[in-house]
Structure 1
Amino acid sequence: MKSVAHVYPWDIIGDPGAVQRILDLGVDAVALAASYHTVRAATPLHPEHRLVDARHAALYVPVREQAWGGRRLTPAEPSWVDGPDSYGQARDALKAAGLPVYAWTVLTHSSRLGDLAPEVVVRNAFGDRYPYALCTAQPEVVEYALTLVREIVEQGQPDGVVLEACGPLGFFHGGHHEKTEGGDWGKVRQALLSICFCTACAARCTEAGIEVDTLRAQVRNAVDAGEPDSVESALGAELASALAAVRTSVVAQLRALLVGEVRELAPQARVIVHASADPWATGPFATAAPELGVEVDAVVAMCWPGPEASIPGIEALRKLAPGTRIAGYVLALPPKPIEAAAMRAELAALAAAGVQEFHLYHAGLASGARLAVVREALDSLGQRP
């Protein structure tokens, strides 16, 4: 059983006690953000500040001219941390204490780049663009993701790479001050609103024999007709199957490309992918259906809702990727209670369901009381050396 704590570079830099707090958790490794979206982050235990306002997506290794020069999709440097290589600074501090460091790499979530290049973002059936969601059917986005991974591996020298949003985002996981709840769109309609009609996706659909205008009309009608039982019932089994094949193949190609790049550049590094077995899944846990298709060291299942809600997804991932290590993304923040017994029970239930490592979110955002809960829960499962 392994455990991995997630942190941001600013959680480590400037805090002499941060590394020891992570060591005290008893985790086996740290997932350190190397590429991340905009966030307003609490730093409850940092000696110098209580909040960090990361105002746009950024790359936390140097943005080198030789890699990015002349490209429209170029990541920004962060102005809220000192120096051009905050990932490297934090990595060195963690590794000096004997902690392996994984490069936590968010690939396609960037409102800044979506605003700069609106034609390469996800566009729904109504023509609405999602500026935070770079569409991986777009060759320019694929090249951006490949360069991002290459730069992080070459400069960051990580012990592992965690690929998040390895596929397009969709309706969910949107913008600031989200005000969409009143639409009463359930999971199926959110999936329908995540179907992309950008030029690249439309071209792929046409190549697959799908009449794009007909598909668009059916999606629009289904969204406005009330909550369907499934995407398949909304679109019809034949059309849904053809569309799912197009969408999953796009993500599979990206996943194979990026995993292959990591394997070539850093053969000894662990490769970990956030994934879902749902063929319509978008977002941080993009679809890996109908099969994973690449050899990775672990696939991470979303487990924030707790074991009862998460176990079906874990079991589906196991069927989709037999023989691959299953990790669980576990929330240590609200609305989870500050109760060691509850955390122990949650980890035990996930382990019984086949989870073989825990990815704990988040060692920098959590209060001291919450870190104590994590420490006690890991103790109870024999996690600590």
Structure 2
Amino acid sequence: MMTPRASVFLYPWDVVGDPAAPRRIAELGVRQVTLAAAYHSTRAVTPRHPRHRIVTARHSAVLYPPDERRWAGRTLRPYPQDWVDAADPFGAAAEALAGAGLEVHSWVVLAHNSRLGAEHPDTSVVNAHGDRYPWAPCIGRPEVRDYLVRLAAEAATRPGARGCELESCGWYGLAHLHAHDKIAGVALDGAGQLLMSLCFCDRCRDGYAAYGADPEDLRAAVTAALLPYWDGVAAAPPAAAEAVEAAGAWARIVGLLGEGRAAAVLGWRRAAATRLQREAVAAVRSRAQDSAFRVLLHATPEPYACGANAGVDPAEVLTFADGLVLPCTGGPATRTAALEPCVPHRRPHTTLAANLTVVSGMGGTPATLAEDAAHAAELGADELRLYHGGLASAEDLARVAEALGALGA
């Protein structure tokens, strides 16, 4: 069994203004950094930075100067940042990291942008109740897809990047780390989350119709299926509900909506997501003009899924993407569910990267990283992604270095 190649996630603000950061990361034992080039709004701790401890990224932004010629005359365009004291934060960080012998790959967040939805409401997902999700651009809309593909090509191929990872390259929905969130009062299982994530904008209604569903009938069926959640009662007896959930959220969706409606939902959403993914990968490759430039997707092997890890069909997506970064934090069952469906469809140069959280305060388990990584490798992972080198405490990073040293040995 080969030792998986490891990469650690970083933000440019973890490096810019901290001359010690590149060497500190290199000494963990990683050979690669996945560096954010386009990212959503966040509030992040920087526990070792000599100038600050908290960085507030107030809105989704590109962490480099966007090419004005590329975006001239376009309504939808990327927002520049102003919270990192550098004209080109990605470029400055990439240069410093490369100077420490680290290979830099860009990290690009696509369909997750609250400011875009606030300033252009018509671009957002609209749920079955008519509520808009400003943080979730509807990828079924041609103008949104065009914007995301252009953004992917520009942000992924920054000078100094040797490859890229596209996050949120698919449907986004209800789930969102929102300021002062107040939606946990009603318990939504996987099926409930998905029902609340289905889009009913004009383009999606047309999409459902094209796949054989009456849009208004489908909307009514979704709102009816959600009623038991609002009432706080289970849609099925507890034992039955557990059995259905174990079979997967989609099995429950089929039961709630009926096979015909569910097939139309999956057909439209899968087609829209696959089109975005194909076009984004092709645009990045065209702009990179380097056959060695790898394009990976953050994904989960469930075509109906939405969120940062886009839902994909491994048999399809691995025919055009160079690989997948798969969520593997949470124990053996999580890693098995993420990796096993992908392995049969890998090509000779396909990358399957196990994404493991190494921040204890965010649910990570750096103390078991060596065991978790070894298990992922047994399942077919050939690379690791460690989330997140800038957010982790010194103790967490020490455990990461110890684990990577053991794996290397």
Shorter-chain TM-score: which interval?
A: over 0.9
Secondary structure of the corresponding residue to residue 291 of structure 1: helix
Superposition pairs of residues 7-26 of structure 1, within 5 angstroms? 7-26=10-29
Secondary structure of the corresponding residue to residue 369 of structure 2: helix
- Pick which of 241-250 and 316-325 moved more: 316-325
Aligned length: 383
The alpha carbon displacement at 1:353 in A equals: 1.9
Aligned residue among 170, 191, 196 for 2:194: 191
Partner Cα separation in structure 2 for residue 253 and residue 293 of structure 1: 14
Partner Cα separation in structure 2 for residue 319 and residue 258 of structure 1: 24
Amino acid of the residue matched to residue 169 of structure 2? C
> Does residue 374 of structure 1 match 2:400?
yes
Secondary structure of the corresponding residue to residue 94 of structure 1: helix
Amino acid of the residue matched to residue 187 of structure 1? G
Contact 2:31 2:101 in 1 (8 A): no
Task: Give TM-score scaled by structure 2 length.
Answer: 0.89
Amino acid of the residue matched to residue 297 of structure 1? D
Partner Cα separation in structure 2 for residue 181 and residue 152 of structure 1: 34
Contact 1:115 1:131 in 2 (8 A): yes
* Percent identity of paired positions between Structure 1 and Structure 2: 38
Secondary structure of the corresponding residue to residue 181 of structure 1: coil
- Pick which of 274-283 and 173-182 moved more: 173-182
The alpha carbon displacement at 1:199 in A equals: 1.4
**What residue number does 1:282 align with?**
306
Aligned residue among 228, 246, 255 for 2:268: 246
Aligned residue among 318, 321, 328 for 1:296: 321
Partner Cα separation in structure 2 for residue 367 and residue 99 of structure 1: 21
**What residue number does 1:149 align with?**
152
Aligned residue among 91, 95, 100 for 2:98: 95
Provide Cα deviations, 1:265-300, integer angstroms capped at 9, x if missing partner: 222211111111112211111111262154333201
Partner Cα separation in structure 2 for residue 240 and residue 321 of structure 1: 28
Superposition pairs of residues 65-144 of structure 1, within 5 angstroms? 65-144=68-147
Secondary structure of the corresponding residue to residue 84 of structure 1: coil
**What residue number does 2:381 align with?**
355
Partner Cα separation in structure 2 for residue 150 and residue 336 of structure 1: 31
Contact 1:340 1:376 in 2 (8 A): no
Task: Give TM-score scaled by structure 1 length.
Answer: 0.94
Contact 2:123 2:138 in 1 (8 A): yes
Partner Cα separation in structure 1 for residue 49 and residue 168 of structure 2: 28
Partner Cα separation in structure 2 for residue 153 and residue 2 of structure 1: 21
**What residue number does 2:253 align with?**
231
Q: Structure 1: where are the runs of 5+ without partners?
A: none
Contact 2:301 2:338 in 1 (8 A): yes
Aligned residue among 285, 297, 308 for 2:333: 308
Q: Compared with structure 1, are the counterparts of its residues 326 and 98 closer, same or farther at alpha carbon in structure 2 (3 Å cutoff)?
A: same
Q: Compared with structure 1, are the counterparts of its residues 145 and 294 closer, same or farther at alpha carbon in structure 2 (3 Å cutoff)?
A: farther
Secondary structure of the corresponding residue to residue 316 of structure 1: coil
The alpha carbon displacement at 1:109 in A equals: 0.7
Secondary structure of the corresponding residue to residue 395 of structure 2: helix
Superposition pairs of residues 55-70 of structure 1, within 5 angstroms? 55-70=58-73
The alpha carbon displacement at 1:85 in A equals: 1.0
Provide Cα deviations, 1:188-232, integer angstroms capped at 9, x if missing partner: 110111111111111111222210001001111111134463111
Q: Structure 2: where are the runs of 5+ without partners?
A: 229-233, 236-240, 245-251
Partner Cα separation in structure 2 for residue 249 and residue 339 of structure 1: 36
